[in-house]
Structures are given as C-alpha cells and as structure tokens.
Structure 1
Amino acid sequence: MKKAIFFLLAITVLNSCSSRKKANNSTFMKGFFSYYNTLFNSKDALETELKNRDKSHKDNFYEPFIPLLTYDEQPLGTEIQQSNMFGNDAPGVPGRPTTPPGGNFTGQGGQKGATILEISEAKALKTIEKYSVMKSGVEKNKAIFDANILLAQARIYKGKPLEALDGLNYIFSNMPKDKRIPLARIYQGLAYSKMEDYHRAGEVFAELKNDKIKKDYQKLLTVYYSEMLLHAGKKEAAVDELEDAFAINKNRKLRSRIAFLRGQILASLGKNEEARESFVSAYKYANDFEFEVKSQIEIAKTFNGKNDDYEGARAYLEKISKKGTYASRKNEFYYAQGLMANKADKKEEAKEFFAKSLKEKVSDPQIRGLNYYEIGKAYFDDSDYLSAGAYYDSALAVMTYQPSKVLLEEQSKNIKQVTKNYYLVKKNDSILALTKMSDQEKTAYFTKLIDGIKAKEAKEELERQRAERKKGFDTGDYSANSIFASNTGGFQDFGGGNKGGFYFANSSTVARGESTFKQIWGNRTLSDNWRTSARGSSLEDLKNEAMGIASAPDPRRLEPSFYIEKIPTKAEDILALKKARDTASLGLGRMYDAYFSDIKLATKTLYDLVDNKPVEEVELPALYQIFVMNYEKNPPAAERAKQKILTDYPYTSYAEFVKNPKNNNFNTSAPEVEKAYADAFDLYVKEKYEESKQLIESSLQKYPKDALVPKFTLLNAFNTGKTAGKEIMILQLEQIALNYAKTPEGIKAKEMLKYLKSDLTIEQTDEQGNAISNVPKPQEIPQATPVSGGPGRPSNDDDIKMEEERIRKLEESASSIAPTATPEQQTRKK
C-alpha cells in the first residue's frame, strides 16, 4: 500500500513540475482536470437542483394530466440526466438552496446571488472554454460532451430551450462520431418540445425510435416522446408511446406515473374501460400513499352506471376506506362513492355520500370544494338555483385548484343573476295574485298563512326547550361546593360576582352570553362554517330574503290586516309590478339559454310570459327569442311564435327575419335608412314636399323590406296632403291602414281617417250655384315614430336600455319636425 501511494505521489510531483505548455497540450490531462475540477462542480450543482425539486414536488391531480418525471432518479440515459416535460420549478425543502422560477438563488439567510442552475451553467461553460481539445476540427476531450449536455440541461431547466440548442449543436458539429450522440439528439428533441416546435421534435424522436439505441436511452426517449405527443394534441399516439414506456421502464414509481397519465388520457378520450385498467396498474405500482388514494378516486370516475356492478364497487371502496391509514382519507373515498352513485343514477344516495364526506376530517381542500360543487350541481339540475349558488360559494371558499375556481366563479355569477330575476318574478306573481282577490279571500288566505306561522313557531319553541333540557344545565349556584370554588385559575365568572364560579352553572351569565351572541351573529344553526357573512341561518332564510320576507319576526305578524294593508291598490303601482315582472321574465328566459343552454326551460318561461299578455316591447322580443332558439332543432316549438309574429307584427324586422331566418344579409334598419328618413322629414319641414316625396320613393325602391317602410309611407301621405289635397291623402291613408294594420303607423292612419272622413261632406249649393258653408271638424295628423326593436336587438338588459334610449331620442327628433296642417286647413279650423 505504501509503494502504491508513493508511486502516485511521484507522478503528481512530476506532473506539477512539468511545463504548463505540455500540460495544456495533453488530451488525457485535460480530460482528467476537466472532470475533477469544473465539470464535477457543474454536475454537483445540477444534481442538487434536481434533488431539491424532487423533494419539493407535489402532484396536482386536478390538472388534466400529471408530469411523468419528478427528478427522483438520476441514471435515465446517463448518471446526470433527468428532466421534466412540464418544467416545474417548485420551491425546495426548508434549509436547502432552491431555484425559484425566474428568481435568484436564496440560501438560509435569504441572501441573493447566482441560482444553482446558473452555477451549473457557468461551470459547464468554463469546462468547455478551458479544457477543450480541438484537433483537425474534432473535439478530442470526451468530457466536453458531458459538459455540453450539462449546459443544455441547465438551460432547459431554466426555461431557455433555444440557448440549450447551442451546446447540443457544438456536439453535432465537433463530436459527430461520439457514441453518445443519441443522448444529445434526445435533448435536442426535448428543447424543440419546450419551444412548442412539435413538428421538429416529432421528427427527431421518430428518427431515434427507428434507430437502434441503448436501452437506457430508450427509457428516456419514450418518456419525452409520449409527453411531446400529448402536448401536440396527438392523444392516441401518446397512449401507444406510454404503453412502450411502461414496458421498458422497470422503475416502480415511474411505471405508476406512466400508468396514471395513460389512464388520464384514455379517460379524456372517453375510453373508460381501458382507463380503469391503467389506473389499476397505477395503484398497483404506486409507492406513495397519496398516489394510491388518488388512483382509487380515478378508478371510481371511470365507473359505468349501466354495465358495472355498483353495489360491488361501493362495497369495495367502503372496505378499503376502513383499512389502516386509508381511514384518514374517508372523506375522499366518500367523494368517490358519491361520483359512482351519480353515474348509477342514484341522486339522493350520491348527495348523502357527498354530505358524509363534508363531515369527515379534511385531507384535501380541493376534494371538500368538489363535494360542495356536486351537491350544488344536484340543486342546479333541479332548477333550485339559489341553493346551487349557496353551495357553489362554499366550494369557491375552499377550492385550491385555480382553473376550477375560475370556471365556477363565472357559473356562480350567472346563477346569481338568474336567481335575482327568478325570485323577482315569483314575488311579483304572488303580489299580483293577491291584488285580484276579494277582501274575504285575502283574509282567508292570510289566516291560513298565520296558522302555519303559529305551528312553525310552536315547533321551534318545543325543539328549543328540548335542547335546553338536553344540555343538563341546572339553575342552582354550585359555586360554593364546586371544586373550582377556591381555584382562582378556573373558569372566569362572567356574572360579575367577586368569587370564581363555573360559567354555565349560572343562568344569568348564560342568558347574557346568548343575548350578546345573537346581537353579534344573529340566529345561527349549529353547522359547518357558521361564521359566514350572510345573516340567514339556512337556505330557507335566503329564499325568504329573495322573496322580500323579513327574517325578524314582526309583532303584528299574526294579524291578517298586517299583510293586507301592504297589498298595492293603485292601478299605476300594479302596472309597474306587472311590467317589472314581465321584463324580469324576459331576461330569465334569455339567461336560461345563454348561461345554461337550457332551451326547453327557456322556451317554457318565455311562452308563459307571452300567455301572460305583456306589453309589446316585451312580447315581441320574447317571441323572437323563442323562434331563434327553436327554429332549427325544434320547429314545432318555433312555429307558434312565428305565426304570432306574422299575425300581430307583420311589418316589423322580426317578421322579415322569421320569414327567412337563414338570410345572412338581413339586418335591422341600417344607419343610412334612418338618415334618409330624417332627411325626408327635414325636407317636409322646409316645405320642399316634392323633393321629400322623391327621396321617399327612391328609399322605398332601395329598401323595400326595411322596418321603416311604414313610416316612409305615412310621411309620403303627409306630402300628398300638402300637394294633391285631402282626398288623395285619404286614399293613401286607407292603403296604409290596410297594409300596415298592426303597426303604430297603421293605427295612427286609422285615427286620422276618422277625422278626415268626417270632414268630407257633400257640398250643398243654392239655385245660383253658391256654396252653402260647412263647418268641418278640425283634423289632427299624428306624428310618426320609428319602429322599435328588431332581430338585432341586444339581448342583455343594459344594451336594451341603451337601444330604448336611442329610439326615444329618434322619436323626439321626429316629434320636433312632425307634419303640420296646411294653411287652408288652418283657416277652415279657425
């Protein structure tokens, strides 16, 4: 041993004494120094980063797909390669250096400097710069290959795949015959994948698949290739590649992850049977407790309610949930059972399982949120939107997976809007029904209501007394005999006495505590999350609040007159209630379609509105909405709306649309048509009647189906009255009344005819031919107003208000330039 040590020392001394020039030209010595100096430090830094990431890695099972690699082992391909397709830069273990995403290295003292990956990159660059040996354009130092691979890895893990290609290209250019070239090609494909250049990555990986490469390289290739295919959207090919990866990789943990990812992809493709087999394999090979539980939940998700044995699957989950450490995850197994019950169409049983899960200890906040969501969804399916919204809010409060929260927040927001309209309709319907009752009927109705209130309060009082008896509290003062009597460190006496005593043994302190609690929190039921912002103690309270029913009892609540005197009696108040009810119902029908795609419920809601005989501004859009929702998928449901539009509103934009709904060129009144109408009015006011008539006639030829056609024709009749006389004007008005009977212009033409025709009397003359004077009735020419609405009418309430405001201004403009009586008519009127 001494001889061997002496020999090594002699070689070291001789080498140190040799010239620097000789050492610099030695390929062997450069390879030796490159590895045991800078390259070793680069490798050590990279390994430190990978270990930190592995220890801090935590799977998010609510992402669509999990990553395969978590940096748990080094020798995949070589002793220094390991990567993660998803590039997670997770925080490290406390007390160990980590690389935050895009941040600087932070040690225990919080001091910032170079990141671990930057250290690895810098050392690799120094190795290449200092120890490269180029001869005849070929790199002779084999260690430079490892340096460039380390450089590529450090840059890929830093999120700089383009820069990583620089080091790999050096290998391809200067070390083309190195036996490890396939490894460099694998990282080249990975770099392209990170750049989302899936076409190039696919070419690289496919070429390697066809080559005969080392088995260690094949392991790495199948992992990266399968994940690249998944990100490229080629799920079927990814499943096949994962099958190869499962066969070739023998590491237990990696096989479990491969099987789990394969099951996720198959489930997303709707192949539940194959997905279940894959999740069973994931459970079989899992060496992580969390992975085992989540695999069982995924197996439950693949349950087929039609062909699978529900009772057997449920019994299996109940059995394993009681075994050992699985008992700590009962809430998750109850959730899985609830999912299976839902698929087996056992809705009530499913709701019970989700409720049981909420009562168990929380192991995963996301699972708790999903339980709330599933219960809320059951209420949603039953159209109980207020209850659904309440459970969705509870789900949002505890969920941890942000994408799920974003989607649920949007749905919860929509539900709140629907709920607001729903209960407004319900409340106004109730009030309107009461307004139609006689006094005797009102008294009988509220007497029955009061009987129900009495029974409810009596029941609540009985339950309260029972609860008090169950508490077992005595009203006697036991402070004198209590073991705590002489103990100043016992419970504080909140009753204000000088001596210590048990708080709940004093009835006055208990009563005072209950009073204080109610002042702060109100009446609360004993339940989870009782300290919520809403003062209502139950869903029933929330519904009462939405209906306008006060939660605090009124002293006069047992008197029928208390309710009767609140019923509106004025016609304008009742009309306002009905209009608000109709508008809310129109919005409700639109929301059912826009938010939930529930066309059936939307159609029923809108037809109920139409049957309730709303005002025209509400009825016409409601009929149009029914037609639009149903004319393709349910023509019979659309036909009634179509016929009513054609019958009652034949000369509106809606009528033109229902005649030819697939005409892409159909629009409401275009701006140029409205301008032409305004110009014709302006010419009329300036007494340029012929020019006004010419503009109207050209507009009618150019826009024969526009919604403003009735208005153009009425204005043309005014021009005729000024130029051709009243008789010709009457003929035109009769034609307008016949052609546009259902339009405002047609109705106004009829009104004008009543006066004008009464003014047309037979002129009587005397024997000399002198006319006998008549005193005609004054004539009134109503003002024309634009036709409101159209198929392009905005669907939401804010836009409707804006549209109505625009029409109102146009009407005001029309009124300001409305036609006036002729001078002859004014003289006759005088």
Structure 2
Amino acid sequence: MKKYILLALGSAVFLACSPRKDGYLNRKYQDFTTFYNVLFNGEEALNAELKQRDKSYRDNFHAPYIKLLTYEEQISSAQMENLGVSDNENGLPFRGSDNENNQTAVLNPTRLSILEIAELKAQKAIDKHSMMFKGEEKNKTIFDAYLVLAKARLFQNKPLEALDALNTVQKIYKKDKRLSLAKVYEAYTYGKMKDYYRADETFRELKENKKLKKSEKKLLSIFYSEMLLNAGKKEEAVTELESAYKLNKNKKLRSRIAFLRGQILANLGKNEEARESFVTAYKNARNFEFEVKSQVEIAKTFNGKDDDYEGAKEYLEKISKKGTYASRKNEFYYALGLMAKKAGKKEEAQEFFQKSIKEKVSDPQVRGLAYYEIGKKFFEDNDYLSAGVYYDSAYAAMNYAPAKEELKSLTENIKDISKNYYLIKKNDSILKLTKMSNDERIAFFNKHIEGIKAKEAKEELERKKAEKESKNRVETVDFALLGNTDNNNSFLDFNGSKGFYFANQANISKGEKEFKQIWGNRALTDNWRTSTKMNSIEDLKNEALGITAAPDPRRYEPDFYIEKIPTKTEEILALKKDRDTASLGLGRMYENFFSNTSLATKTLYDLVDSKTDEETELQALYQIFSMNYEKNPSAAERAKQLILEKYPYTSYAEFVKNPKKADFTTSDSEVEKIYTQAFALYSEEKFDDSKKLIEETLQKYPKDVLVPKFILLNAFNTGKTAGKEIMILQLEQLMLNYAKTPEGIKAKEMLQYLKSDIKVEQFDDNGNPISPKNEPAFAPQNVNSSSTNPERIQQNNSKQRNLQEMQQDDPLQPKDLKPKK
C-alpha cells in the first residue's frame, strides 16, 4: 500500500511540474532539468569543438590579414593530418549518457559532427522544456539553449539559420537582461552574411548602450573590428582595434589584435604606426611563431630614407644567431634583404636573398618569396630567362595559393619566351654553320669537343672527391631496421658499394639524373607519378637546343656534328623561316606580356634588318608602328616610311597614314553639314569632288564621331574612281580601326563579298552584258539589274538577294548622323 502511495505522490509532483503550467514550481523544475538533462551536454560539445579548433589553428601570415578569432573556421582533414590531429569525423569524442547517444544514433544513422550534436541538444532542450505563455517564454534557461543553437549554427557556417534563432529569442524574451548579448551575436551574424550595413547599424546601437557588461563589450569590440575590416573600412577598423586592445587583457589576444592592426596600418602606408603595433605584438606574443613573424613584419616597415639601416641590420643579424631564433635564419635573411632593397642597396639585398635560400627551410612561402625577389632583379634588368629559373623555384616552393596563382601566369609567359629565344639561338647557330667551309666547321667542333672534355673531367673529379669523402665518413646505421644486408639488391648495397644510400653524393647525383631522365621535373606533392609534368626553363632550353641527358659515344668526333648540318636549300630556308617567325613572336611577347616596348621594338627591328621574307617583315613593321606611334613617334617613323615605301598598296599603308588616335564621342554640327554635302556629291557622281571634301574634313576634324562614316563614303568614291583593289584596302583599314562601329561591321560584310568570286553582272534590254570600267562590285545604294531578260534575272537572282540584304540600313545615308548612346 505504501508503495502505491509513493508512486501516486511522485506522479502528482511530476504532473505539477509540467511545462504546460505556468507555476513557480513548474518554472524552477523546468529551469533545472533543461540545463542538467539536455543543455549541459550541448554546451560541453560546443565548448569542446571550439577548444579543439583553437588548439589546431595555424595562422597564415602570408594572407593580407590574420584572423582575431582562432575558432571561427574548421580546418580541413588534410590540414588536420599535417598537424598530427586525428582525422576523425567528430574531431573529439563526445561524452554523453549512453541512453542519449543511443537516441541520437536512432534519429541519425550517420555519425554527427560535434557542432551538429550541440545543435541537436539545444533544439531538443527547446522542444521538451519550453514554457510559452501568451507569447512569452517563462523558462529562463531556454535563452541559453537558443544562444547555443545560434552559435552551433554560426560556426557551421549557417548564418541565416542562426539569425532565425536569435530573432526568436529576442521576440520571446522582451525584458531579459541578456538580450544585449543576443544583439551582439545578431550583429556578428549580419557580418557573416555580408550585410555590412545592418551589422554596422546594430553594432553602433550597442556601443551607445551604457548598460553593456564588460564581457559583452570585449566581444563586441572583436566582432565589430573584424566586420569593419571585411567591409573595407580600414581606418575605422584600426580605431576599433585600439578599443579592443584596451578592453581585452588576455596577452595572447592582445598580441593578435596588435599584429592585425599593424597589418592594416602597413597596408594604408602608415609604416611608423604599423611598426609600433608590430613591436606591441612581439612584446605580448605567447608563442615562438608569433615572435618571429612580428620581427619580420617590423623589418618590412623599414623606411629607406629616414630609418637607420645599419642599426636595424645589426639588430636583426644579432637576433638571428640567438638560441632558437637561429632555426629561422632564412626568414631573417629574407627580411634583411627587403630592408637593404628599400635602403637602395640592391647588391647587398641580393646577397641576403641568396643567403636565405641556402639556409634550412622554416617557412616554404618565405623560401619562395626569396627566390621571387632574386628573379625580380633579373626581370627588371630584362633578363627574362634568368628570372624564369628563379620564378620556377619560387613557384615550386610557395604554399600560399593566391601568391602562387599570381606567379603562375608569369612563369608560363617566360616559358613561352624561352621557347622562342632558344629556337632562335639554335637556328642561328645552324645557319651560321651552313655558311662555313669544311675546315672552319672542323676547327669549330674541335674547340667544342675540348670544352666537353674539360667539363666532363671536372664533373668526374667532383664525383670522385664526393665518393672519397663519403667513404671516410663514419655512418651509424641500425641494420636491424633495414632488413637483410646480405642481399645484393638491398637498400644499403646500392651499385655494390656498402653504406647508406644518401650518404654517398655520387649515388645521389646519379639517382637524381636518372629520376629526371624518366620522370622529368615533378612537384613535391602527393601522387607525383600521375601529376602533370612541370617543365622548367632548363628543360625547355635542352629541348630547343637538342641536348639530351644521356651522352652519345660519338660526341668526341667532329663528323658526328657535321653530319647533322642541313645541306638542302629547302631545309635551310625552313630553318630561316622558323627562326624569323619565332623572332616575330618574341617581339610581340615582350610587348604583350611585360609591356617592354623598347625591347620589343629592338627585337623586331633586328628581325627587319636580318632580311626576312616580305610577309614577316610587313607584320614586324606594323607591330613596331602600332606599339610606338603614340608613345614614341620617332621609333615608329622608320617603320611607317618602310611600309609606305615597300608596301604602299596594303591596308597597313592606309593604317600608318591615318591611325586611330582616340575614341570618338562627339560630332560637330558643321561636320554633319559637310557629310551631307559629300554624300550629295557622291550621289551626283562627282566622285573626285566628294573625295577631296572628305579628305579636307578628316584633316580638320580627325576626332569627330562621323570619321568612320566619312572613311566608308570615301571608300565608295575610291571604288568608283580607282577600282576594286584600292577600295578593298580602304575597307580593310576601316575594319581594322573601327571594328565595333556600324561602319566597321558594314565594311567587314562588304569585304567578305568583294574578296569572293561572285561578280555582279548587269545587262541591257537585249540581254547583252554591261561591263563598265572601274565600276565597284558594291555600291552604297541598292544595285538592281536593268536587265529584262528573264533568264538573266533568274541566273542572278540569288546574287542580287545577297546584295539587297547587305544594303539594308545603309550606314552611308546621312539620315542618322547622331551617335547612338
């Protein structure tokens, strides 16, 4: 009986504490059970995930800016693997009650991430323990559940769903003191959604709230400064970071705040202030990496004019030799190189960059940047091939994707130039040999063979020296780990010489040579066997010059080389053609890739002076003129005169007479009247008068919007007076200069017709063909056959239909002279 009484009493108490009743006991009971039954596990899961993210976070100091919060983004599985973190789907094991884990497994057959578990727990707490009465939540702990729900969604990159939870909590808790915290996360969420206007508006309202707790102010300052930076408001971000630094006393966070502030100030060109900020970051740094990077950034803010270079140099050289800093010498030498460069000491800067690449790698990106700076010096001196070698090394070493991507196109362009350069060099050498007598060839190759012998003797001496050093060196090897040493094919017994493979420099050299011969240059990445082969500048050079890795046994015989010299005329001409085509391409590349007009002009003039064929010469002269007629008229003048002298009846000659000098935007009313007069003269068949009026107008108004219209009308005048060929040249010039105008489009259509084999035949009333002299194949007005012969009409029906289609909306008509907007 007593048992039943206790059961009934317990049931009564349970029912009395139901979330469906708004009583004091109900509220207290639900408040307690919400947290300890479900929400506690959700909060623990969230905190565990954020702690793990913070622990595994690695800063990217080569990005424009570091992040203040180290738990915002989850690192990838590959990154976790590299950092030695277990690559498990949940990150960290979640420890809840077996009953709850079993329920989760039933609800979700697939394993959940920790944040998904936190979200699930928070949602479960809301669903089971919410006490809504008249639109107001009576269970105070549900507020915490909504915050956990919002955070879990935010850090899963689901800002819209997080905003929904934050809006709900503000709606059902109208007078709660914790609403300001929800507002802080709301503003942060707007920033995540890139709705910077609303985020800024919300943050400003919160800053005016004098009742904010200190913890809320700290959080607000961090969130607000990052939002301002993402919105591009750098000056305001600097001011807010100053406030964040004052509010937050945690030294690790203070170091990050100062470092980020320094990066922004450096980006704004305020080097003095940036330096002070980096010094503050260094003083507050709580890890070795931050100390080193702060010192490097301090060096980057060096001002070559006002700062003490010798003092800064002495300080960095001294610190680079201290204790653990010695392991980062390559980074300090790179920083010293940048300082020397800013101080105007270019040679000294190159020495420091060279020292940097010889030291042990501590940061692959810094190694790549050191290679890049060396290559940049060659690039500025127009030595693109040497620059390309270092750019190749920089590209291979760098691990920051945006910087690597920027360098990729540059290295590809230099490789294209290298192909042409070495092809020219090779063909020039062969052409030079074809002009030699047999005795001269023998003497030339004997000298070449002596050079090969001296080089190989030097290499053999170095190999023997390395082999001797390796034999004298005592190596300690754990033979038990390396398996059976009696096996002649074992790892220790490479080529029959006992000892560790990598201790023998000769073996390494041979191995590298054989590897390159089979695989070529490969990037140091996973799946390198199946990755795309990376051709270096050296590979391209060897390919162009015909150099192979394996030496030929006949390489010491002059006849071995003489036999390969072409003797047939067509072969020699083909070599010359290939050489000239490559030279033309090289000149274009210098201009298009690097905007190096002077080098491009010199290369193309050298091509012209080498007596190339007419087609290549004309192309080279056109390129020279088009590159220089505005920037360097004196360099363009020679090309212009050569085109006019050698190729007067080409579209290129027409172009150099009247190149397009500016965009046309306005039309003078006087010009419109003149065009009407010119068109009237054309209509009256006064072609010479119309032509003269047009030429005078073009000289007087060279930049008027109607210039293309005048040129098209003048082409018709020319067709009537000088014939089809000259008309085609003028239409080609019009199409070349004004391709996107209605006149340019019409000229293109007409050229397709004029250059075809179609001929317009006209017949008299008796069916006899009329062949007027100098009549162009195309006229500005509709061309209708005067023939009444049905057979003739039928034969020319399709031809006339094509002409009529082309002549619709004739651009010559003066009815629409205003330019279209």
TM more than 0.5: yes
Q: 1:387 to 1:111 in 2, by over 3 A?
A: farther
8 Å Cα contact 1:223/1:245 also seen in 2: yes
8 Å Cα contact 2:282/2:294 also seen in 1: yes
8 Å Cα contact 1:541/1:551 also seen in 2: no
Q: How many residues are matched?
A: 675
How far apart are the structure 2 equivalents of 1:64 and 1:32?
Answer: 47
Post-superposition offset of 1:420: 1.0
Once structures 1 and 2 are overlaid, which stretch shifts more, 148-157 or 332-341? Answer: 332-341
Q: Which residue of 1 aligns with 2:155?
A: 157
Q: Which residue of 1 aligns with 2:41?
A: 41
Q: Which amino acid aligns with 2:202?
A: V
Give the secondary-structure state (helix, strand or coil) at the position aligned to 2:174: coil
- Is 1:127 the counterpart of 2:125? The answer is yes
Post-superposition offset of 1:379: 3.4
Give the secondary-structure state (helix, strand or coil) at the position aligned to 2:232: coil
How far apart are the structure 1 equivalents of 2:450 and 2:739?
Answer: 50
Q: 1:320 to 1:164 in 2, by over 3 A?
A: same
8 Å Cα contact 1:39/1:124 also seen in 2: yes
Q: 1:644 to 1:334 in 2, by over 3 A?
A: same
8 Å Cα contact 2:687/2:720 also seen in 1: no
Q: 1:219 to 1:616 in 2, by over 3 A?
A: farther
Alignment of 1:397-408 (within 5 A): 397-408=396-407
How far apart are the structure 2 equivalents of 1:536 and 1:129?
Answer: 58
How far apart are the structure 1 equivalents of 2:276 and 2:633?
Answer: 45
Q: Which residue of 2 aligns with 1:94?
A: 86
Q: Which residue of 2 aligns with 1:597?
A: 595
Post-superposition offset of 1:537: 14
Q: 1:537 to 1:129 in 2, by over 3 A?
A: closer
Once structures 1 and 2 are overlaid, which stretch shifts more, 531-540 or 400-409? Answer: 531-540
Select the residue among 432, 443, 455 that pairs with 1:447: 443
Q: Which residue of 1 aligns with 2:457?
A: 461
Once structures 1 and 2 are overlaid, which stretch shifts more, 415-424 or 11-20? Answer: 11-20
Q: Aligned-residue CA RMSD in angstroms?
A: 5.3
Post-superposition offset of 1:195: 0.9
How far apart are the structure 1 equivalents of 2:393 and 2:213?
Answer: 54
- Is 1:64 the counterpart of 2:64? The answer is yes
Alignment of 1:403-482 (within 5 A): 403-433=402-432, 439=437, 443=439, 447=443, 450-451=446-447, 453-455=449-451, 457-458=453-454, 460-461=456-457, 464-465=460-461, 468=464, 471-472=467-468
Q: Which residue of 1 aligns with 2:285?
A: 286
Q: 1:513 to 1:265 in 2, by over 3 A?
A: closer
Give the secondary-structure state (helix, strand or coil) at the position aligned to 1:70: coil
- Is 1:50 the counterpart of 2:50? The answer is yes
Post-superposition offset of 1:786: 8.0
How far apart are the structure 1 equivalents of 2:462 and 2:288?
Answer: 46
Q: Which residue of 2 aligns with 1:729?
A: none
How far apart are the structure 2 equivalents of 1:265 and 1:87?
Answer: 25
Q: 1:129 to 1:89 in 2, by over 3 A?
A: farther
8 Å Cα contact 2:691/2:714 also seen in 1: no
8 Å Cα contact 1:653/1:789 also seen in 2: no
8 Å Cα contact 1:652/1:707 also seen in 2: no
Q: Which residue of 1 aligns with 2:389?
A: 390
CA-to-partner distance for each residue in 1:281-309, whole Å, 9 max, x for gaps?
21111101112222222223223334333
CA-to-partner distance for each residue in 1:588-627, whole Å, 9 max, x for gaps?
2222222223233223323333444544433444344334
Q: Which residue of 1 aligns with 2:200?
A: 202
Q: Which amino acid aligns with 1:337?
A: L
8 Å Cα contact 1:65/1:265 also seen in 2: yes
Alignment of 1:789-828 (within 5 A): 790=736, 813-814=756-757
Select the residue among 187, 191, 195 that pairs with 2:185: 187
How far apart are the structure 2 equivalents of 1:267 and 1:500?
Answer: 54
Give the secondary-structure state (helix, strand or coil) at the position aligned to 1:159: coil
Q: Which amino acid aligns with 2:59?
A: D
Q: Which residue of 1 aligns with 2:813?
A: none
Post-superposition offset of 1:208: 1.7
Higher-Rg member (1/2): 1
Q: Which residue of 1 aligns with 2:114?
A: 116
8 Å Cα contact 1:89/1:99 also seen in 2: no
Using the size of structure 2 for normalisation, the TM-score is: 0.69
Alignment of 1:2-401 (within 5 A): 18-23=13-18, 24-26=21-23, 27-71=27-71, 84=72, 93-94=85-86, 98=90, 112-212=110-210, 213-401=212-400
How far apart are the structure 2 equivalents of 1:500 and 1:200?
Answer: 69
Give the secondary-structure state (helix, strand or coil) at the position aligned to 2:177: coil
Q: 1:276 to 1:377 in 2, by over 3 A?
A: same
Q: 1:787 to 1:177 in 2, by over 3 A?
A: closer
Post-superposition offset of 1:252: 0.6
Post-superposition offset of 1:417: 0.7
Q: 1:493 to 1:56 in 2, by over 3 A?
A: closer
Give the secondary-structure state (helix, strand or coil) at the position aligned to 2:711: coil
How far apart are the structure 2 equivalents of 1:337 and 1:12?
Answer: 82
8 Å Cα contact 1:52/1:98 also seen in 2: no
8 Å Cα contact 2:49/2:115 also seen in 1: yes
Using the size of structure 1 for normalisation, the TM-score is: 0.68
Post-superposition offset of 1:121: 1.7
How far apart are the structure 1 equivalents of 2:630 and 2:535?
Answer: 46
Q: Which amino acid aligns with 1:20?
A: L
Post-superposition offset of 1:332: 2.4
Q: 1:370 to 1:708 in 2, by over 3 A?
A: farther
How far apart are the structure 1 equivalents of 2:439 and 2:720?
Answer: 56
CA-to-partner distance for each residue in 1:539-595, whole Å, 9 max, x for gaps?
878645533456666677667676566555655444433333332222222222222
How far apart are the structure 1 equivalents of 2:356 and 2:426?
Answer: 36
CA-to-partner distance for each residue in 1:421-474, whole Å, 9 max, x for gaps?
122233334444555x563xx855873664364256336425634753674499
8 Å Cα contact 2:225/2:237 also seen in 1: yes
How far apart are the structure 2 equivalents of 1:451 and 1:600?
Answer: 36
Q: 1:66 to 1:340 in 2, by over 3 A?
A: same
Alignment of 1:533-552 (within 5 A): 543=541, 545-548=543-546
Query: Percent same amino acid at aligned positions?
Result: 52
Q: Which residue of 1 aligns with 2:679?
A: none
8 Å Cα contact 2:597/2:627 also seen in 1: yes
How far apart are the structure 1 equivalents of 2:538 and 2:631?
Answer: 38
Post-superposition offset of 1:151: 1.5
8 Å Cα contact 1:788/1:807 also seen in 2: no
Post-superposition offset of 1:118: 1.9
Q: 1:573 to 1:816 in 2, by over 3 A?
A: farther
Give the secondary-structure state (helix, strand or coil) at the position aligned to 2:581: helix
Q: Which residue of 2 aligns with 1:503?
A: 497
How far apart are the structure 2 equivalents of 1:582 and 1:537?
Answer: 25
How far apart are the structure 1 equivalents of 2:551 and 2:14?
Answer: 103
Q: Which residue of 2 aligns with 1:779?
A: none
Q: Which amino acid aligns with 2:453?
A: E
Q: Which amino acid aligns with 1:233?
A: G
How far apart are the structure 2 equivalents of 1:550 and 1:30?
Answer: 83
How far apart are the structure 2 equivalents of 1:460 and 1:345?
Answer: 41
8 Å Cα contact 1:522/1:535 also seen in 2: no
Unaligned 5+ residue runs, structure 1? 1-10, 72-83, 476-483, 667-692, 720-735, 747-784, 795-805, 824-830
How far apart are the structure 2 equivalents of 1:56 and 1:64?
Answer: 21
Give the secondary-structure state (helix, strand or coil) at the position aligned to 1:58: coil
Q: Which amino acid aligns with 2:497?
A: Y
How far apart are the structure 1 equivalents of 2:32 and 2:633?
Answer: 84
How far apart are the structure 2 equivalents of 1:397 and 1:518?
Answer: 17
Q: Which amino acid aligns with 2:118?
A: S
CA-to-partner distance for each residue in 1:673-715, whole Å, 9 max, x for gaps?
xxxxxxxxxxxxxxxxxxxx999999999976369949x9579
Give the secondary-structure state (helix, strand or coil) at the position aligned to 1:581: helix
How far apart are the structure 1 equivalents of 2:42 and 2:10?
Answer: 25
Give the secondary-structure state (helix, strand or coil) at the position aligned to 1:315: helix
How far apart are the structure 2 equivalents of 1:347 and 1:112?
Answer: 61
CA-to-partner distance for each residue in 1:372-430, whole Å, 9 max, x for gaps?
33333333333333343333333333432222222222222111111111222333344
